[in-house]
Amino acid sequence: MPPYDPEKISSQRRVDALVTLAFLGLSGLLLLLPPPVQHQISSGLRGSVLAPFIWTQEALREVRIRAGEVEVLQVQLDSVVATVSSQRTLEEENRRLRSLLELTERAGGGFVSASVVRPGTRGSESMFLLDVGVDDGVRVNHPVVTAEGLVGVVREVGRRTALAMDWTHPDFRVSAMTVDGEVYGIVEIRRGAFREEDRLLLNGVPYHTPLESGVGIVTSGRGAVYPRGILIGTVSELAESEAGWRRSYWVRPAVRTQSATHVLVLTHEEGPDVESLETLWLPGFVFEGLEIGETGIGELEAGELEDPNAPSGDESTDATGGESDP
């Protein structure tokens, strides 16, 4: 047993105290670092130490898809009926991918397709990783969309990955308008008691222009982030009205963020006209059971789905004709 040495113990305690203070100071410094430096640090960690875990999630998703295919083949051997029922998940994924592809084709470039990975760690709620980055033309503030509408926006970009936030993020704000271009406002998130209760709120609507339930809300194109015409959701009900000058409405989001597994990033680079995307969410076009009608977007009954490739009529085209600002 080593002899008791009060000098040595006292010296060790001093060193411990200094090291502890250094780490506490260092961790406190992280909180105060400017956001670009914070982003560099987090990007570096995600691209190095944590990369295997991100790859694991991507690999697992691939495996799940492949396992689904194998399962389908197995079931096909058993019976045709079982095959039909087991293909539903694949059909769902195919349908989503096909709708994304159709969106890309209509946009005529300017989009990059990406897969979504959710980190699932504390503090990363409302954030998701994309498997595209600077090499694919993705930059900070590029909008992320699906065929249903707006998902969120890119916040950080690495060489081959990007970190984006969806509309459930507390920082999410987007200038919006009704599909007819008559009413403008700001769409922002309102947190519910639970994350499942998070809703969008269309704020700043003039008091004397009431909106009906089901009216489609799209991005207005104001500001440099979101081009005009990306579908955000539909008006569901009046949230509040301040006597005589302002109303706000709850908006039913077009995209359920947790179900978005494949997305498109609007890269602003190759598209013919990225200032306006109204041609992509034209009235009369059908997305996932939502139809954009003359007054907005309404839920379609089963069996009412129209052919997405069918040309839209003149009446429906007129519905987005209003370009004038209020």
Partner 1 sequence: MSRGFILWGVALLLPILHFLLHVGFGLGARAPDLLTVGLLVLARELRVGAAAGVGFVFGLLEDAFSILAFGANAVVLTVIGVLGARSRDLFMGDSLVFLASYLALGTWLRFALHGMLAGEEVRGELSRLLVVEAPLAAVYASGVGVAVLLLTGAWGRDPR
- Contacts with partner 1, residue ranges (CB under 8 A): 12, 15-20, 23-24, 26-33, 35, 38-39, 41-42, 45-46, 49-50, 52-54, 56-57, 60, 117-125, 127, 155-156, 163, 165, 169-171, 191, 193
- Closest CB to partner 1 among residues 17, 310: 17
Nearer to partner 1, 148 or 156 (CB): 156
Angle of helix 88-107 relative to helix 51-78, nearest 10 degrees, comes to: 120
- Give the distance, in angstroms, between the CA of residue 315 and the centroid of all CA atoms in the same chain: 31
Q: For residue 201, how far is the Cα from the chain centroid?
A: 16
Q: How far is the CB of 25 from partner 1 (least distance, A)?
A: 10
Residue among 155 and 246 whose Cβ is closer to partner 1: 155
- Residue matched to tokens 């799209």: 218
CB nearer to partner 1: pick between 57 and 316: 57
The identity of residue 18, as a single letter, is L
In this structure, what token pair is assigned to residue 323? 């370009």
Provide the minimum distance between the beta carbon of 30 and partner 1 in the complex, in angstroms, as a whole number.
Answer: 3
Cα-to-chain-centroid distance, residue 127: 9
CB atoms within 10 A of CB 119: 17
Minimum CB separation of residue 231 from partner 1 in Å reads: 25
Query: E strands within 95-210?
Result: 111-117, 127-130, 143-146, 149-157, 162-166, 173-178, 184-190, 199-206
Q: Which amino acid is at 86?
A: S
The answer to whether 113 and 263 have CB atoms below 8 angstroms apart is yes
Give the Cα separation of 260 and 143 in Å (integer).
14
What is the sign of the dihedral through the CA atoms of 268, 271, 277 and 280?
A: negative
Question: Smallest distance from the beta carbon of 28 to partner 1, in angstroms?
Answer: 6
Tell me the closest approach of the beta carbon of residue 138 to partner 1, in angstroms: 17
Q: Which is nearer to partner 1, 45 or 73 (CB)?
A: 45
Closer of 106 and 155 to partner 1 (Cβ): 155
| Closest distance to partner 1 from the beta carbon of 37 (Å) | 10
